[in-house]
Chain A
Amino acid sequence: MNRSFFVGYLPIPADIRKFVIGIIVVLVIVAAAVAVTVGSNQQAAGTGNWNPTAQVTMTGRLVVDPYPILYREDGKSVVLVVQGKRSADEYSMPHAGVNVEVTGYSIKRGNWSMLEIVDAESIQPKKGTAPVLPAVEQLGKVSLQGEVVDSKCFLGVMKPGEGKVHRACAALCLLGGIPPMFVVKSADGNRYGYVMTRKDGSHASRMLASMVAWPVSVSGMVESRGDLLYLRMDSEGVTPLVGNDLLQFGDSLAASAVAGEFCGVRRSAKI
């Protein structure tokens, strides 16, 4: 018997050539099949939307307490951030409290609105009376389970913008001062978000950078300001879930009675 044998620099024997062509065809089919299977099993990541192609302009009263928010005449609150993983604190400070016109790229998810500005020029003082600030309403004490996210990615810049894969990116955003957000799933199946501050109401981004994107619990006071809900943390930070809480995480978030109450009634914080 003399089986044919392939040597790279000699002409390829006909039977081996046929075999190799067969293998190549099989491999190409395998590649396409794996691509289609993995590609068709991508998980949904919500309805966040970021339009980085067309800028929009809005007017309202700019407040920095502790995060820059534009309160519009129509009652909408719009969180401001800068392009990249940076906060808009610095550009907003000079205009704090006054009526302004802000231009930037819109980011939206559920009832949340955000504007991504470019630089100091994106905020211009605007003549006219600024809208009246909404009253701050204390809603009470809660204890919630959920995840700290960076609001910018979560609301639509990155999809998905939460979870472990996104943890390093979220940490970078929080180090850059992007407002931190606490995301819970309520007993009603909906997800709600809270802007997080320290107990004294100050900036919590940098402090939370190392605790972002983990299943955690947090307790604090919920207050409403316009259509946003704020969570003032009791202690300095959040506590990682362990044991059963961790195992069940994802099914029964924010199932506690108090949390459900706030979550249920504040339609505006829904994401």
Chain B
Amino acid sequence: MSHDYVPVQWNRKKVIYDISLWGGIALYIACFMIVSSILLAGDEALSPMILLIRAFATCAFLMLTIILCIGPMARLDERFLPLLYNRRHFGVSMFVVALTHAILATIWYHGFGVVSPIESIFASPGDLTSISNIPFQPFGAGALLVLLLLASTSHDFWNANLGPLLWKSLHMGVYLAYGLLIVHVAAGAMQEDNTGMLPLLVLGSVVLVGSLHLTAALKVRSIDSGIAAGEWVDVGTWQEIENDRAIVVTIGAAERIAVYRYDESRIAAVGNVCKHQAGPLGEGKVIDGCITCPWHGFQYRPEDGCSPPPFTEKIPTYRARVEGDRILIHPTPLPDGTPRDVAMIGGYS
């Protein structure tokens, strides 16, 4: 699925997606600013700049929470896939919102002084002896750098040039950024918050993101332990697999395998990792005779793991056998794009 790289391949869905996204962001900032400046007005009014800093900060944090939930939600319920399709736009927009917060905070709190703003961010008084002494700004700056790296390598151009696995590992950095941000808030604004609002926001986010990831991880069938190399492994019955769909299994410590049933009676096993952005192929569907990735629709033939021409992507294939109702898989992968016999379900009618 190679193509020429342009900044964004616009289509109507992406336009609607982005309009909803930026509409939501504008609504968030507006609600925050209006409510906070009505409730504390006149002599009691807080600095509008500080309110803006907080509005952008909490908006970015909420967006990051949603981004981290989309992945597991789409694995648990594939109707969420359309949100995932353009997650890149969500991510880059979140970075822009976070950057706005960081720039405003840097100007306001670290600007206009006798020390340069950047130096001041890293020279904030404090030490690491207790949570109340830890300076919180460097953690925000660290998170910002990670998000900058992710936003600037989010394009398919980088994905193709770095390779899906390196790209994917790099983009796992989003969890590092999330962790840094939790420290940024816990060591900073949370300590000045007597209302309990920020602890609630952060805790709610962590519980939501954590539990969704756990639940989604439990969906993979793992067949563990004591498998000697070269052995065939029973992964279940063919009736458990819906036609044109797959189950995902891990055998021992090996890579995940997607076991597909298609044409009603054929069983083909392939690597679960898409060559595009390492999407979970086993959660896709066979469409027009090709395994179609749930994330962005890259396609592979079940017979040999190759993308149909003119595309050139290839994934590893696995040997499969059907004995009675049971499906057996040989856990050693064949090289990317290797044809092998597709197993037929005997006596299927």
A→B interface (CB under 8 Å): 1-3, 5-10, 12, 16, 19-20, 23-24, 27-28, 30-32, 34-47, 49, 83-86, 157-160, 163-169, 171-173, 175-176, 209-213
Contacts and interface: CB of A to CB of B under 8 A. Distances in A.
B36 interface: yes
Interface in B125-142: 125-126, 132, 135-137
B287 A5 contact: yes
B153 to A, nearest CB: 20
A176 B114 contact: yes
Contact of A84 (B46, B112, B115): B112
B9 to A, nearest CB: 9
Contacts of B136: 164
Given A39-B32, A158-B50, A28 B27 contact: yes
Contact of A34 (B28, B114, B191): B28
B28 A8 contact: no
Contacts of A164: 132, 136, 188, 191-192
Interface in B183-212: 188-189, 191-195, 197-198, 201
Given A24-B20, A31-B59, A85-B114, 5 more contacts: A5-B81, A16-B82, A28-B24, A160-B46, A172-B109
A48 to B, nearest CB: 8
B79 A20 contact: yes
Interface residues of B, number: 75
Contacts of A172: 109-110, 112-115, 120
B47 interface: yes
A159 B47 contact: yes
Given A39-B31, A167-B126, A172-B120, A45 B197 contact: no
A38 B58 contact: yes
Contacts of B197: 37-38, 41
Contacts of B193: 43
Contacts of A43: 192-195
A210 B242 CA distance: 66
A32 B27 contact: yes
A166 B78 CA distance: 45
A84 B113 contact: yes
Contacts of B124: 167-168, 171
A6 B31 contact: no
Contacts of B45: 159
Interface string B64-82: 0010000000000011111
A37 B54 CA distance: 13
A2 B285 CA distance: 10
A118 B306 CA distance: 71
Interface in B22-41: 23-25, 27-36, 39-40
A31 B125 contact: no
A190 B191 CA distance: 22
Contact of A31 (B27, B113, B132, B194): B27
A39 B39 CA distance: 9
Contacts of B30: 35
A44 B40 contact: yes
Nearest to B57: A38
A6 B44 contact: no
B287 A7 contact: yes
Contacts of A40: 35-36, 39
Most A-side CB within 10 Å, residue of B35, B51, B242: B35
22 contacts: A5-B81, A5-B284, A7-B287, A8-B13, A8-B85, A23-B83, A28-B24, A32-B27, A35-B29, A39-B32, A39-B33, A39-B34, A39-B51, A45-B46, A84-B113, A158-B47, A159-B47, A159-B50, A165-B188, A168-B121, A169-B110, A175-B114
B61 to A, nearest CB: 9
Contact of B44 (A8, A20, A44, A163): A44
